[in-house]
Structure 1
Amino acid sequence: MTTYGLTDEHTMIADTVRSFVENEIYPHEDLVERTGEVPPDLAQQIKQKTIDLGFYACNFPESAGGAGLNHVEFSLVERELGRGSMALTHFFGRPQNILMACEGEQIERYRDPAIRGERMDALAMTEPGAGSDVRGMKCTAVRDGGDWVLNGTKHFISGADHADFLIVFVATGEDDTPRGPKKRITTFLVDRGHPGFTIRDGYKSVSHRGYKNMILDFDDCRLPDGAVLGEVDGGFAVMNEWLYATRITVAAMSVGRARRVFDYALDYAAEREQFGQKIGKFQGVSFQLADMITEIDAADLLTLACADRLDKGLPANREIASAKLFASECLARVTDAAIQIHGGMGLMDDYPLERFWRDARVERIWDGTSEIQRHIISRELLRALGA
């Protein structure tokens, strides 16, 4: 593990979470992989142990009841959680920071219960026809008799199977611009079971079994003004302020998972014999190990560096995109190389490598595809030159 720039407190945070994952998550991974489900009692057990550990909602400030970790510290938490099954680490509890935008009654109804672990949230943005193109969403809310009436569908909504309420982004109008129509977006808080709102099973994914994606349907779902999070038509402002660093989470978790995969490859190379010697002695294997650890360390440092920029109040959009891009693609290369080192056994379910290989694929897609990250990076570089 890279330690550059990390204090003893940082190391303690990382070690504590890693120990939790090894002792409380690893033993249940085979069950989740086999059944595709997390038993409710196990989910509650993980949640309570996280609360007892003092890490539930650790991404929220102390003034709101969280642990008050900064971006670097929270990245270390996510890095270590990345080693374990997402279906299980979901209950380690990191509510969406966007709930800090709650005001008035919303604080007691949504934000504080989420921080205490009494209610779980999920974020709903993606639609069947609007993935990376957020402004292309067709889910709408219109005014009617003093209320808002929502209609449309969201899909690929992670965590909605356990959520008590959803944070939903919908179109609430449209402006004419020189580049064509531009939709205005508003954020709503919607309780599970609210009339006109249903949650149904989504698609069966090869990545992260047990960590389900769900489909949300809104059919004349009527909501009061009190359900608006932030300002009307201010969904992008809320998004930019509170969801700015979610890509760091993907980068950090990719680093953690890559380190776990690397450990399997390293141990196997040190133990497996062919032609009378350990396979790690062969240059074809040893050079792969050297490339793997170099990439992982680079991804780790890149991720921590952009988290540090956020802690210092510096612009970090390009740096975060670079970290997400490099770390997720690094994970793909590392898992592929680990399977190559294991040979045919790497593809058998006797080892978890085939699972890591499948799980790695989605990291280059969600929270902004690799292509979107390259667009962000190149756009910022060119804008600085007026291009």
Structure 2
Amino acid sequence: MDFGLTEEQQLIVDTTRAFVENELYPHEQEVERTGHLRMDLVKELQAKAITAGLYAANMPAEVGGAGLDTLTWLLYEKELGRANYALHWTCVARPSNILLAGTPEQREKYLFPCIRGEKWDCLAMTEPGAGSDLRGMKASAVEKGGDWVLNGTKHFISHADIADFAICFMASGEEDSSRGKRKKITAFFVDKGTPGFTVRDGYRNVSHRGYTNAVLEFDDCRIPKEQILGEVHKGFEVANSWLGATRLQVASTCLGRAERALQHAIDYAAQREQFGQQIGKFQGVSFKLADMAMELKAAELLTREAGWKYDQGTVTDQDMAMAKLKATEVLAFIADEAIQIHGGMGLMDDLPLERIWRDARVERIWEGTSEIQRHIISRALLRAVGG
């Protein structure tokens, strides 16, 4: 593995960072203090992102994206991750890769408008009683007269309030397994405005202000079979084929925020004086900085290695779990230590540290909790010796 960046990768990093610093940073305080991202601002920044070539850059070149390899895409995600989540996710949207699994007709209706910035998508899996246990979902899909009728509830569905459609995973049957009955899952495209489909306001969240979640309710919502994504009862296969790198995406955005917090801590330690000298010269502070830098480097190397292996076709669930686990926990550690170095000022919203600290909390929960990641890692270790 070559640890150096190519000229093209460095250009993407520099371009993305400049966009984040010049176009997104100036709006962070407004979003943080109001908890709202204005749609007129979204449209303005979206147009700038499209012009800069940063919009939908995660998509292959043949469908209008940037065609980035996985490692380069993760470098791009890291730079975007420095900013308020609502700003970078909504204004520099990266449509879900699962849209690539659609038929040619579905691509025309859903994928291409998202790439052009005309539509937004959202992904609906989680339910009030089925978080990490997706096989435990109760929201159902039943075939009736050639159509499918959906019933049930999804929650914690990110940015569903602005999404034009949802990709919904529903229990569509049962099958026998070594552990008894388990749900068969089918994925559906559900357009906003479909009778029986309601999007309600979700919960107030301490993390990622302006980035909303919603509750989706299905009440005899009738969907034609043409809106099945993939095959009937093969929803997990679709998800596993197209959503594999999302944990690396989470890891990369966490690295960006961790690096930003660390730089604030370094700058403050070099400028702030107490007892006649810079506080960075006190061992209690300097050792904190050393540990923060070391942990960040370890998290970044795990993430880059997993990205590189993804493109080689050798990545494992264990690789991605390690990267996600390490990066999210390192972000929490660095955010906390950066505030400690700043003292009381670190908790004031004049600086981004208190936001980074708050935002860090959700990263150890979504896209698989830290406990799920440890389960994946330990299971791989034990299986290797017959455990």
TM over 0.5: yes
Amino acid at match of 2:208: H
Letter in 2 for 1:14: V
Distance 1:143 1:104 in 2: 23
Which residue of the partner structure matches residue 197 of structure 2?
197
Q: What is the number of equivalent residue pairs in this alignment?
A: 385
Q: Distance in 1 between matches of 2:245 and 2:189?
A: 21
Which segment is superposed worse, 193-202 or 58-67? 58-67
AA paired with 1:195? P
Provide structure 1 residue ranges, at least 5 long, that are not aligned to the other structure.
Answer: none
Q: Find the counterpart in structure 1 of residue 279 from structure 2.
A: 279
Partner of 2:80: 81
Alignment of 1:7-18 (within 5 A): 7-18=6-17
Q: Deviations over 1:273-308 (max 9, x none)?
A: 110111000000000001101111111111111000
Q: What is the correspondence of 1:244-259 to structure 2 with a 5 Å cutoff? A: 244-259=244-259
Once the two structures are superposed, the pairs formed by residues 331-350 of structure 1 within 5 Å of their partners are: 331-350=331-350
1:297 corresponds to which letter in structure 2? Answer: K
Kindly indicate whether residue 61 of structure 2 is the aligned counterpart of residue 62 of structure 1.
yes
Instruction: Determine helix, strand or coil for the equivalent of 1:207.
Output: coil
Superposed displacement of residue 255, structure 1? 0.5
1:291 maps to 2:291: yes
Query: In the alignment, does 2:188 pair up with 1:188?
Result: yes
C-alpha distance in 2, partners of 1:358/1:98?
Answer: 29
The equivalent of 1:6 in structure 2 is 5
Q: Which residue type is aligned with residue 56 of structure 1?
A: Y
Paired AA for residue 20 in structure 1: F
Aligned-partner residue type, residue 24 of structure 1: E
State the Cα distance separating 1:315 from its structure 2 match: 2.9
What CA deviation, in whole Å up to 9, does each residue of 1:199-253 have, x standing for no partner?
1110000101000111100010000001100000010110000001100011001
Equivalent residues in 2 for 1:355-370 (5 A)?
355-370=355-370
Deviation digits for residues 304-328 of structure 1 (CA, Å, limit 9, x no counterpart)? 1100001111132111100000000
1:15 deviates by 1.1
Shift of 1:9: 1.3
Provide the C-alpha distance between the structure 2 equivalents of 1:57 and 1:8, rounded to a whole number of angstroms: 21
Using the size of structure 2 for normalisation, the TM-score is 0.98
Please give the alpha-carbon distance, in whole angstroms, between the structure 2 residues aligned to 1:355 and 1:58: 26
1:121 aligns with 2:121: yes
SS at match of 1:26: helix
Question: TM-score, normalising length from structure 1?
Answer: 0.98
Alpha-carbon distance in structure 1 between the residues aligned to 2:349 and 2:62: 46
Which stretch of the first structure deviates more once superposed, 206-215 or 172-181? 172-181
Deviations 1:335-365 (A, max 9, x none): 1100110112212223221111111100000
1:61 Cα deviation after fit: 1.0
CA distance in 1 between counterparts of 2:106 and 2:352 reads 43
| Matches for 1:223-242 after TM superposition, within 5 Å | 223-242=223-242
* SS of match in other structure, 1:206: coil
In the alignment, is residue 314 of structure 1 matched against residue 277 of structure 2?
Answer: no
Distance 2:170 2:96 in 1: 17
SS at match of 1:356: helix
| Partner SS for 2:309 | helix
What do you get for the CA RMSD once the two structures are aligned? 1.0
Counterpart CA distance in 1 for 2:350 and 2:58 is 36
- Give the Cα separation in 2 of the matches to 1:125 and 1:178: 24
The aligned amino acid for 2:161 is D
CA-CA distance at 1:176 after TM superposition:
2.0
Comparing 52-61 and 365-374, the one that deviates more:
52-61
Aligned twin of 2:27: 28
Where does the alignment leave 5 or more consecutive residues of structure 2 unmatched?
none
1:102 and 2:102 correspond: yes
